[in-house]
Chains A and B, each alone.
Chain A
Amino acid sequence: MNEALNNFLAQHERKAFRMAQLAVGNADDAHDIVQDAMIKLVKKYSSRTAQEWPPLFHRIMQHQITSWYRKRQLQQRWFPWFKHNVEDGEDNATLLHIHDPAGRSPDELLANQQAMAKLEQAMALLPLRQKQAFLCRCLQGLTTNETAHAMACSTGSVKTHYHRALTTLREQLGEVWP
């Protein structure tokens, strides 16, 4: 049981973290979200079969992200002086110092990093539901049905959110990816 769970979490933790990081905008909160999701999955659903874990984990993750947004809205309403964590870009800076397995030059890596930064900026402007639909489909590689289950909404809503997100991103990132 422990080994199967360990393998499952190890397989999904990177994308889960990246999704949380892109959704909330900073690494510290993203780590908290992923850890809470892992703990909830282990505590509540470890007795389920391994085939049931992926949709459950995705759903817990989306719930955690939505809860984070609600908490932040409450904080901003009642404690407006409270400063939220801001991404310092340390991890992105390390991108330039690592060896690229694809054999790209530092210039290409820099261009790639800048493109990612623009994508993150454009994503920050998206409404939460569009962001979630986009990340589930593009980053996690979920189908429309799987995304609908994760977001606890209809497939029609997922299609609408995803289409609007893509349209907005295309308008914002037309120069980067024509």
Chain B
Amino acid sequence: MTNKQTEFESQLKQQLNESVDHLGASNLSRLSQARNAALANVNKRNFMFPIWRTGIAASMAGIFMIYLALPIGMGMQQGLDDPLASIALFEQEELDLYEELDFYEWLEQEQQHG
């Protein structure tokens, strides 16, 4: 960088710094208000719950509710209403078999003699 460029750069810096020193009362007042408003948020930050987390939680709850309302869910629920019904039916068939065991033995003997 040449001397002229360096001099030009320093002149610009001086000009900009001077403009910072003459901001005006209204601007300084607004800056002070902005600072106080920002500092009021120091203790609030821990209590904030991000919106996106609330959104995800609501979406998950919605999906779960829809799942429960679907026929698949209802079918599963119906199947689970009486889980012992199928076992009881099976047990009934076994009892009939034992009661008619004599008949089946007689039938087998008849077939052998015949």
By a beta-carbon cutoff of 8 Å, the part of chain A in contact with chain B is: 1-2, 5-6, 9-10, 13-15, 17-18, 22, 27, 31, 34-35, 38-39, 41-44, 46, 90-91, 94-95, 98, 112, 115-116, 119, 138-139, 141, 166, 169-170, 177
Question: What's the minimum C-beta distance from A93 to chain B, rounded to whole angstroms?
Answer: 9
Using CB atoms, name the residue of chain B closest to A46. Answer: B42
Question: What's the minimum C-beta distance from B17 to chain A, rounded to whole angstroms?
Answer: 8
Indicate if the CB atoms of B24 and A94 lie closer than 8 Å: yes
Indicate if the CB atoms of B27 and A27 lie closer than 8 Å: yes
Q: Mark B21-60, 1 if CB is under 8 A from A, else 0.
A: 0111111101100110111011011001000000000000
Indicate if the CB atoms of A91 and B8 lie closer than 8 Å: no
Known: A91-B26, A98-B22. A6 touches B41 (CB 8 A): no
Q: Given the complex, which residues of B lie within 8 Å of A2, measured CB to CB?
A: 39, 42
Using CB atoms, name the residue of chain A closest to B11. Answer: A177
Indicate if the CB atoms of B16 and A139 lie closer than 8 Å: yes
Residues 80-110 of B contacting A (Cβ, < 8 Å): none
Question: What's the minimum C-beta distance from A125 to chain B, rounded to whole angstroms?
Answer: 15
**18 A-B residue pairs with CB within 8 Å:** A6-B39, A10-B35, A14-B20, A17-B27, A34-B34, A35-B38, A38-B37, A38-B38, A39-B37, A39-B38, A42-B39, A94-B25, A116-B19, A119-B15, A138-B16, A141-B13, A169-B12, A177-B11
Q: Given the complex, which residues of B lie within 8 Å of A38, measured CB to CB?
A: 34-35, 37-38
- Further 9 A-B residue pairs, CB within 8 A, beyond A9-B38, A13-B34, A166-B5: A14-B20, A38-B34, A39-B38, A43-B45, A95-B24, A112-B18, A115-B15, A139-B13, A177-B8
Known: A27-B27, A34-B31. A42 touches B8 (CB 8 A): no
Indicate if the CB atoms of B34 and A35 lie closer than 8 Å: yes
Question: What's the minimum C-beta distance from B33 to chain A, rounded to whole angstroms?
Answer: 8
Question: What's the minimum C-beta distance from A163 to chain B, rounded to whole angstroms?
Answer: 9
Indicate if the CB atoms of B27 and A91 lie closer than 8 Å: yes
Interface residues on B, range: 20 to 34
Using CB atoms, name the residue of chain B closest to A34. Answer: B34
Using CB atoms, name the residue of chain B closest to A38. Answer: B38
Question: What's the minimum C-beta distance from A103 to chain B, rounded to whole angstroms?
Answer: 14
Question: Once bound together, how far apart are the Cα atoms of A17 and B24, in whole Å?
Answer: 12
Q: Given the complex, which residues of A lie within 8 Å of B20, measured CB to CB?
A: 14-15, 18, 139
Q: Given the complex, which residues of B lie within 8 Å of A31, measured CB to CB?
A: 27, 30-31, 34
Q: Given the complex, which residues of B lie within 8 Å of A138, measured CB to CB?
A: 9, 12-13, 16
Indicate if the CB atoms of B19 and A46 lie closer than 8 Å: no
Q: Mark B49-85, 1 if CB is under 8 A from A, else 0.
A: 0000000000000000000000000000000000000
Question: What's the minimum C-beta distance from A130 to chain B, rounded to whole angstroms?
Answer: 13
